[in-house]
Amino acid sequence: MKQLKSFIKKEFFHIFRDPRTMLILFGIPIAQLLIFGTVIKSEIKDVHIAVYDQSKDVTTQQITNKILSSGYFILDKNLENTNGIEDIFRKGKVKEVIVFESNFGEKLKKEGKANVQLIADASDPNTARLVISYTSGIINDYIKKMHPNLQLPMQIQPEVRMYFNEEMKSAYMFVPGVMALILMLISAMMTSISITREKELGTMEILLVSPLRPAQIIIGKVIPYLLLSVANAFVIVLIGNLVFGVPITGSFILLMLETILFIMMALCLGILISTAAKSQMTAMFISMIGLMLPTIILSGFIYPIENMPVVLQVISHIMPARYFVTIIRAIMLKGVGILFVWKETLILIGMTLFFIAVSVRKFKIRLE
């Protein structure tokens, strides 16, 4: 019994002395609890909307004020007509347009009913569903408080219309996000493991003393995985289109060029990881934990970034998948061109150049 106690005591000391074990036991669960607790929310916040008020009477003003004072919505602009609604949604900032019909207040008083049109950007169906639900709820609440003796259904009848995803298919949201996740993990992980394998086998030293320059070694490592990842991306797009019915309304060539850019960025990130990792296990751990969880949570693929705490919103700006998901959703679902996604494209180009420069520098340091 005494020996068993000593053995257990030794195991406790062993656990407490190992910072990696302590990190896995306590650090990761606490971080996951805090992150998921703050990120996974079913409410909306600061959703940008536009209003086209054809009536401009007291009733429509009161309803608009009630919607804006709820804390869920921010008025982006007042529209003069409905011609530019699709272009407004293509820019990506406005998520809903509210259209009040002519003589709204007068019809409500005389005929007992009036119509309001709620138009949402359904390229993200979860957010669109929440936005419509919140707006309808606020309008119904207005009617109940203004006319407490009326019975349901309410006299203001919201007519709902969804842009870019009329059937509200969840595949429209998941396919672009899963595509970003798969390409990020496969590209970064494969290159990082490839180079750390060279280190473990001792063949990296042969490469470092060879006539090849650091940039040539990196290019030689990147090119095969780049071509294989492009083929992988093509298969994902094909399956998304043929099996899940996700349309490609924009330019297929632009979509593939943006995909190649993202793959190059992920491959360069993988090389950077490999220069820091000493073993294949470490490289895989960094790739899985350091990339998979942030890509799922902070890319806007599942959870709207606008609903997250400010700290996570700031951190999400350094996540490459955030920009790639925005780009491929815009091209595939909204049919936009480079003029609508040039900012995200420039950011991905900048990240790629940064990772290439740092990787080459680290290789030079090893050579010296």
β-bridge pairing 114-121 and 94-100: antiparallel
For the chain, list the domains and their CATH numbers: 1-40+169-362 (no CATH), 47-146 (3.40.1710.10)
User: What is residue 262's predicted lDDT score, i.e. its pLDDT?
Assistant: 94
- For the record, the structure tokens of 184 come out as 């990020």
Q: Can you say whether residue 71 is alpha, beta or left, with left for phi > 0 and alpha for psi between -120 and 50 degrees? A: left
The residues, ordered by sequence, that sit 6+ positions from 319 with a Cβ below 8 Å of its Cβ are 294, 295, 298, 299
Confidence of residue 149 (pLDDT cuts 50, 70, 90): low
Residues in a beta bridge with 53: 100
Q: What is the pLDDT of residues 24-69, one digit of tens each?
A: 777 777 777 777 776 666 678 788 999 999 888 888 898 999 999 8
Task: Return the axis-axis angle of helices 252-276 and 338-367, rounded to nearest 10°.
Answer: 20
User: What is residue 41's predicted lDDT score, i.e. its pLDDT?
Assistant: 66
pTM of the model: 0.78
Residues in a beta bridge with 156: 114
